[in-house]
């Protein structure tokens, strides 16, 4: 217990204050922002009327996913909806698969783009074509590799629309696989989801995912759709939400049936491409939202850096350990509870380890993303 008798000098006091401040900030952020998800209550009232909905999907060379996943969407338990699929010049069997599905499902409408007329980077143009072709006022975006977790997905997402609501942010999870890269993806995805969903619940929406995002057609065309973003090569969904979502027009829905799921990337380079695109999207965010996204990574980096400095200066390591125990305890509890709420694979007990792994890893990817000049929406 010699460390209890340690005489704090000026430098040591500064280190101690810095350590306490960083740990306290992170603990409060875990509880106030991330923890908000655990107690979020989505609308439970039954719908009195069922507004018409158009589910819009953009597909390119996705025959396998369309055949496997599209029926889950077409068979939703909702009385008034259509599914609009934009087949963006696919070179595989997508057209054949869609024609077969059209014979089975009358609510499937397909727009075929036979030539690559998309002069803009990303998939803004084909999505815009899908929205323009949609017959209904409420647009619900998802992707070809994504399927709802239940047959009441449309119903649950529509419940988020109140009189002043123009946008509803849903959640999409990754299917769990017993691989190391899958565990890394699960951790990173849950961390980013806790941040953007927690902030959105706190009336600070800054991103949403095109795998599960609803908005009104009127609002989309009122802001000229994606036209203001046509010079932005990435993040059509994230940048769109960042630009137009705010505290008064956006709601979050987090019921079990409102969640969708998608297959994670199985190859390392595919995951890297996805991460680079996400980082490049961040460069087009509002300044305050760039800060919101960066708060936890920056404070985590500062915390571990300060601990390393304390060790170098022979500051009693027991104090640093006690600080980390407090942080890790709260961190594991919050990750555990939010995993259950979001229906994701449990990464709670390994979250401190993954946090350390991602510190240098994300730094390298962020620098690498700055060197990428052109993005296509399909690799």
pLDDT tens digits, the chain, 379 residues: what are they? Answer: 454 455 556 666 777 788 889 999 999 999 999 999 988 887 767 887 899 999 999 999 999 999 999 999 999 999 999 999 999 888 999 999 999 999 999 999 999 988 766 556 668 888 999 999 999 999 999 999 999 999 999 999 999 998 899 999 999 999 888 888 888 889 999 999 999 999 999 999 999 999 999 999 999 999 988 887 777 766 678 888 999 999 999 999 999 999 999 887 777 777 777 777 777 778 788 899 999 999 999 999 999 998 888 777 777 767 778 889 999 999 999 999 999 998 888 889 999 999 999 888 877 777 666 555 555 555 4
| Residue 379 belongs to a domain | no
6 and 56 together in one domain: no
> Considering 277, 296, 322, which residue would you say is the last residue of a domain?
277
365 and 266 together in one domain: no
pTM of the predicted protein model: 0.89
Alpha-carbon Rg for the chain in angstroms: 23
Largest separation between any pair of C-alpha atoms in the chain: 80
CATH code for position 118:
3.90.550.10
Q: What is the distance between the alpha carbons of residues 191 and 47, in angstroms, rounded to a whole number?
A: 32
Query: Which positions ≥6 away from 42 have C-beta within 8 Å?
Result: 156, 159, 160, 252, 253, 254, 255, 258
Name the packing angle between helices 268-282 and 236-244 (round to 10°): 20
Q: Is residue 168 exposed (0-12), middle (13-18) or buried (19+ Cβ within 10 Å)?
A: buried
194 and 315 together in one domain: no
79 and 217 together in one domain: yes
- Residue 3: CA count within 13 A, CB half-sphere: 10
181 and 301 together in one domain: no
Are the CB atoms for 348 and 336 separated by under 8 Å?
Answer: yes
> Considering 243, 277, 311, which residue would you say is the last residue of a domain?
277
| Residue 64 belongs to a domain | yes
For residue 41, give both structure tokens.
Answer: 């209550």
| Residue 105 belongs to a domain | yes
Are the CB atoms for 211 and 142 separated by under 8 Å?
Answer: yes
Q: What is the DSSP letter of 85?
A: E
29 and 118 together in one domain: no
338 and 217 together in one domain: no
| Residue 63 belongs to a domain | yes
| Residue 374 belongs to a domain | no
Nearest partner of 33 among 355, 330, 353, judged by Cα: 330
348 and 246 together in one domain: no
Q: What DSSP assignment string belongs to 115-177?
A: S----SSSSHHHHHHHHHH--SSEEEEEETTEEESSTTHHHHHHTT--TT--EEE--EEEPP-
149 and 75 together in one domain: yes
Number of domains in the chain: 2
Nearest partner of 297 among 166, 172, 191, judged by Cα: 191
Give all strands of the β-sheet with 172-174 in edge-to-edge order: 146-148, 260-262, 172-174
Q: For residue 205, give its domain range.
A: 42-277
| Residue 193 belongs to a domain | yes
- From the CB of residue 132, how many other CB atoms can be counted at a distance below 10 Å? 14
| Residue 292 belongs to a domain | yes
Q: What is the distance between the alpha carbons of residues 339 and 355, in angstroms, rounded to a whole number?
A: 16
249 and 295 together in one domain: no
Q: What is the DSSP letter of 375?
A: -
341 and 213 together in one domain: no
195 and 335 together in one domain: no
Q: What is the DSSP letter of 212?
A: S
Main-chain phi, psi angles of 175, to 5 degrees: -60, 140
DSSP H or E segment with residue 109 = strand 108-113
| Residue 84 belongs to a domain | yes
> Considering 277, 307, 339, which residue would you say is the last residue of a domain?
277
């Amino acid at each position: 217990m010699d460390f209890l008798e340690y005489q704090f000098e000026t430098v040591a006091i500064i280190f101690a204050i810095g350590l306490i401040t960083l740990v306290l900030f992170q603990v409060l952020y875990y509880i106030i922002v991330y923890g908000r998800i655990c107690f979020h209550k989505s609308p439970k009232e039954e719908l009195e009327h069922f507004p018409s909905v158009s589910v819009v999907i953009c597909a390119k060379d996705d025959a396998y996913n369309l055949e496997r996943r599209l029926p889950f969407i077409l068979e939703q338990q909702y009385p008034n909806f259509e599914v609009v699929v934009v087949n963006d010049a696919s070179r595989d069997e997508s057209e054949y698969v869609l024609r077969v599905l059209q014979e089975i499902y009358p609510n499937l409408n397909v727009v075929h783009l036979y030539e690559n007329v998309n002069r803009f980077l990303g998939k803004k143009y084909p999505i815009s074509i899908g929205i323009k072709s949609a017959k209904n006022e409420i647009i619900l975006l998802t992707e070809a590799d994504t399927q709802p977790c239940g047959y009441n997905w449309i119903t649950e997402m529509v419940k988020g629309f109140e009189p002043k609501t123009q946008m509803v942010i849903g959640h999409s999870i990754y299917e769990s696989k017993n691989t190391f890269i899958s565990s890394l993806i699960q951790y990173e995805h849950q961390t980013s989801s806790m941040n953007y969903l927690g902030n959105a619940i706190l009336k600070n929406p800054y991103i949403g995912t095109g795998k599960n995002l609803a908005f009104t057609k009127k609002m989309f065309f009122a802001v000229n759709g994606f036209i203001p973003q046509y010079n932005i090569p990435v993040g059509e969904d994230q940048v769109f939400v960042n630009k137009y979502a705010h505290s008064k027009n956006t709601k979050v829905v987090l019921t079990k049936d409102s969640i969708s799921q998608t297959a994670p990337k199985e190859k390392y380079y595919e995951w890297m491409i996805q991460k680079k695109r996400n980082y490049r999207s961040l460069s087009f965010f509002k300044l305050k939202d760039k800060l919101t996204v960066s708060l936890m990574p920056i404070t985590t980096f500062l915390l571990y850096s300060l601990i390393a400095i304390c060790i170098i200066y022979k500051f009693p390591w027991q104090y640093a350990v006690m600080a980390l125990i407090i942080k890790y305890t709260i961190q594991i509890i919050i990750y555990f509870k939010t995993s259950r709420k979001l229906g994701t694979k449990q990464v709670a007990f390994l979250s401190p380890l993954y946090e350390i792994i991602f510190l240098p890893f994300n730094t390298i990817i962020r620098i690498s993303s700055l060197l990428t000049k052109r993005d296509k929406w399909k690799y």
